């Protein structure tokens, strides 16, 4: 899988892909032609490589649906059901591509069911935990000011770590209070607004990094770009200082649920977070609904009436 274009692959082979390796090359060429993100390309290569290790570089015509079922069983056993489910999505697209291109007569994945992965439990941070997290940042230092900005942006805007790390100064609109996300998930762009707290912190931070020539918004103490991996470590470290298990994605979850609890609507939240469907947004709605249920138990108008209940007395129907 060396990233050949579909045209070059056809010219080189002079025929449709015959082996599993050639088919993988053809699929990856199509992924590159569709301008998928580097992360998606890297993940697809890993998954297809694992499939070839399991099956071997066999003739494509000899691959059976039963072989693919065995692969997912092995993957779920060796890793987890969640990993097997992620592998399923890629391999299904792979064999759909082969069928659509006429390389295979049928889609071998049509008879393979997706491994059922457990739904992860989302427990957003409380207001007290968020305040404790932010309190760890001493804004008298550059790194403290920067880390507070990172936390506030993640909490207020729900950006992914990769999106925040990729922000440049040109992507920040102070007057309009907007961030331009140029390459979100699926390489889609969107504009994300931010509030007054982020605006105030941005102005203080930008004043301190005034002489830095690095175009990226988030930089280290030496004025160098902070990538998504380092950004995640910063958030984890701040969580440890506050005695909280925290990640960048947990802050994204916290932002989403807080937005809905404050009265925001699901469709706007979907656009803000850059979700292509409402599936994940619905999960956030369920969390917000649970919150409403808990609050209703505490403040139920009928339950607070003195004469609303039967006081445990046995009454005869009339």
Catalytically active residues, by annotation: 160, 185, 249, 252, 275, 284
- CA torsion angle 153 157 161 167 (round to 10): -70
Q: Is residue 273 a contact partner of residue 191, using CB atoms and an 8 Å limit?
A: no
Q: Is residue 134 a contact partner of residue 151, using CB atoms and an 8 Å limit?
A: yes
Write the DSSP assignment of the chain as a string of letters: -----HHHHHHHHSSS--BHHHHHHHHHHHHHHTT--HHHHHHHHHHHHHHHHHH-S-BGGG--HHHHHHHHHHHHHHT-HHHHHHHHHHHHHHHHHHHHTTSSSS-GGGG-PPPPPPPPPP-PPPHHHHHHHHHT--TTSHHHHHHHHHHHHHHHH---HHHHHH-BGGGEETTTTEEEESS-GGG--EEEE--HHHHHHHHHHHHHTTT---SBSSB-TTSPBP-HHHHHHHHHHHHHHHT----HHHHHHHHHHHHHHTT--HHHHHHHHT-SSSHHHHHHHHHHHHHHHHHHHHH-TTTTSTTSS-TT------
């Amino acid at each position: 899988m060396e990233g050949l274009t579909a045209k070059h692959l056809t010219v080189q082979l002079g025929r449709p892909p015959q082996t599993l390796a050639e088919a993988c090359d053809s699929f990856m060429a199509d992924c590159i032609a569709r301008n998928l993100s580097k992360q998606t390309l890297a993940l697809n290569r890993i998954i297809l490589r694992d499939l070839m290790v399991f099956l071997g570089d066999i003739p494509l015509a000899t691959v059976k649906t039963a072989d693919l079922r065995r692969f997912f069983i092995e993957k779920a056993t060796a890793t987890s059901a969640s990993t097997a489910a992620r592998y399923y999505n890629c391999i299904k697209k792979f064999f759909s591509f082969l069928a659509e291109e006429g390389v295979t007569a049928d889609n071998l994945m049509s008879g393979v069911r997706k491994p059922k992965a457990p739904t992860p439990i989302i427990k957003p941070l409380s207001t007290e935990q968020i305040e404790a997290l932010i309190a760890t940042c001493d804004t008298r230092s550059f790194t403290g000011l920067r880390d507070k900005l990172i936390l506030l942006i993640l909490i207020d805007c729900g950006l992914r770590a990769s999106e925040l790390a990729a922000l440049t100064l040109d992507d920040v609109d102070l007057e309009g209070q907007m961030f331009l996300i140029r390459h979100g998930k699926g390489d889609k762009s969107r504009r994300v607004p931010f509030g007054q707290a982020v605006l105030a912190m941005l102005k203080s931070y930008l004043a301190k990094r005034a002489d830095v020539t690095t175009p990226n918004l988030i930089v280290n103490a030496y004025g160098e770009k902070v990538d998504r991996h380092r950004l995640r470590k910063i958030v984890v470290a701040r969580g440890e200082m506050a005695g909280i298990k925290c990640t960048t994605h947990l802050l994204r979850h916290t932002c989403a649920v807080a937005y809905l609890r404050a009265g925001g609507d699901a469709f706007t939240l979907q656009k803000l977070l850059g979700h292509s469907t409402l599936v994940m947004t619905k999960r956030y709605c369920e969390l917000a609904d649970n919150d409403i249920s808990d609050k209703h138990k505490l403040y139920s108008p009928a339950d607070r009436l003195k004469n609303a209940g039967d006081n445990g007395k046995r009454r005869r129907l009339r």
